[in-house]
Amino acid sequence: MAYFNTANLSPLLHSVRVAGEEALQRRARPWTITAHDWFADVERLRSLFAALIGGSAGGVALIPATSYGFAVAANNIALRPGQRVLVLAEEYPSGVYTWQAATRAVGAEMLTVHRGSGQSWTEAVLEGLDDRVAVVSVPQVHWIDGALVDLVAVGARAREVGAYLVIDGSQSIGAMPFDVAAIRPDFVISVGYKWLLGPFGVGYLYAAEEHRSGRPIEHNWILRHGAEDFARLTDYRDEYQPGARRFDVGERTKFELVPMAVAALEQLHAWGIDEVLAALSAVTGQIATRVFQLGLAPSPTDQRGGHMLGVALPDTILAEVLPALAAANCYASVRGRSLRLAPHLHVTDTDIDQLLDALTTVVRGR
C-alpha cells in the first residue's frame, strides 16, 4: 500500500497509537485521574505547539476544528459596512463560510482573488490588498495543490493598510517552518490530524497578544481563573485563565486524545521541521520530475510548499485517476482539477514507483 494523502488524514505514528491505547486504559480507571491531570497534559500540548510556531504557550488555545478557530477570529474582529474580507479562490470552505456569515451580518463584502496566468498567489493577494480590505484570510499553502503564499510579504502589506491577518496553517504547520514573530499574524488556526500527525478533534489557535483579552465564543468552567480548585467552582469568577486560554473549547482535556497529540508533537520536535521539509521536498521533487516526463504538469518547485505537489489533470483522465490509483493500492486525493500528492516520511522509492506505474497506466491508456 502506498499512501500519499497526509493532507487529507495523516497516517498514525506508532508512538501516537501507543499513547492512545495507554490513555484509554487510564480513562478506564477514572479513580487514578486527579484534579492536576485536568490541566497537565493540556499545558504540555499548548507549549509544544507554541514552540513549533515560535510563539509562547500563553498565545495558544486548544480548539476542535478550523471552523471553531475562524469563529473565534470573526468574533473578535469588528467589521464595518463596506469593508472587505480577502480570501483566495477555491479556498478551504470552513473559513469562507465563516467570513461570508460575518460580512453578511454587517454589510461588509467578500473579495475573492484569483491568480492570473503565470501569477503567484502572493502577487494576486498583494494586488487586491488595499485600504478597503479589513481582513486578509489566507493559508501558507493552498490546500488544493500546495501553492505558496509569502506570509511575511502579505503580513507587511496588511499592516500597511490596517488589515487583520488570519492564517489557516492546517496544510503547512508541522511540515514547513512557521514563525509568528516574522509573519505577525492576528490569528493562526490549524487542525492537528494532518501535518501535525495527531488525532481527529484536537486543533490549535494562536492569538496575537493584542487579542488575548477578547471574547470567547463559549463560557465553560475551565476557562476561568481559579478553575484548578474544584472545591470552589461555584465561587463564580469574571476573570479568565491567562492569555489565549479563554478561547479553549469546552472539554479541552480530552483524556483519550490529548496524550496522542502530545506524542505526535514530541516526535515532530525530535525530527525537526526543517529536516521533515527537506525529506519531503526530495520525495515531491522526484515525483515532479517523473510526472513531467509522463506529459503531466506538476506545480513549479519554486511556487509550492516542498511537502505537497499538485499535478494538473487533463479532462480526459480527471475521472479515471483515483480509481486507477486505488486499483493499484495507492492513495492520494483529487482537489479541484489537481491530483494532490501529500507524502510523509513513511514513503519509500517503491511507493513512488507504485504511484508512477498507476499514473502511467492512465496517461497511456493501458
d(CA 173, CA 140): 9
Q: What is the mean pLDDT of the chain?
A: 96
330 pLDDT above the threshold of 60: yes
- 205 found inside a domain: yes
Same domain, 212 and 134: yes
User: Which residue carries 493500492 as its cell?
Assistant: 329
> Looking at the domain assignment, is residue 59 inside a domain?
yes
- Taking only the tens place, the pLDDT of each residue in 43-82 is 999 999 999 999 999 999 999 999 999 999 999 999 999 9
Residue 366: is its pLDDT beyond 80? no
Q: Are residues 254 and 297 in the same domain?
A: no
Answer yes or no: is 333 within a domain: yes
Domain that holds residue 277: 272-363
Residue 30, pLDDT score: 96
* Residue partners of 52: CB distance under 8 A and separation at least 6: 173, 174, 178, 265, 268, 269, 273
Report pLDDT for 365: 81
- Please write the tens of the pLDDT for every residue from 238-265: 999 999 999 999 999 999 999 999 999 9
Average of per-residue pLDDT across 171-199: 98
- Same domain? For 208 and 149 the reply is yes
* CATH code of 305's domain: 3.90.1150.10
pLDDT tens per residue, range 4-36: 999 999 999 999 999 999 999 999 999 999 999
Verify that 107 and 162 share a domain, yes or no.
yes
The predicted model gives 191-218 an average pLDDT of 97
The pLDDT tens digits for 98-121 are: 999 999 999 999 999 999 988 999
For residues 297-307, average pLDDT: 95
Cell 520525495: give the residue. 283
Q: Considering the domain boundaries, does residue 9 fall inside one? A: no
Give the residue-averaged pLDDT of 205-216. Answer: 97
**Residues 324, 312: one domain?**
yes
CB contact burial 146-180 (16+ within 10 A = b; e otherwise):
bbbbbbeebbebbeeeebbbbbbbbbbbbbbbbeb
Residues 304, 266: one domain? no
142 and 288 inside one domain: no
Q: What is the pLDDT of residue 364?
A: 87
- Same-domain pairing of 262 and 284: no
Same domain, 182 and 310: no
Q: Specify if 3 maps to a domain.
A: no
Would 334 be classed as within a structural domain? yes
Domain co-membership, 177 together with 106 = yes
The last residue of a domain, from among 209, 243, 271: 271
What is the pLDDT, as a whole number, of residue 118?
Answer: 86
Does 141 have pLDDT greater than 80? yes
What pLDDT score was predicted for residue 251?
95
262 and 282 in a single domain? The answer is no
Number of domains in the chain: 2
Domain boundary among 219, 248, 271: 271
Examine the domain organization and report whether 177 and 111 are in the same domain: yes
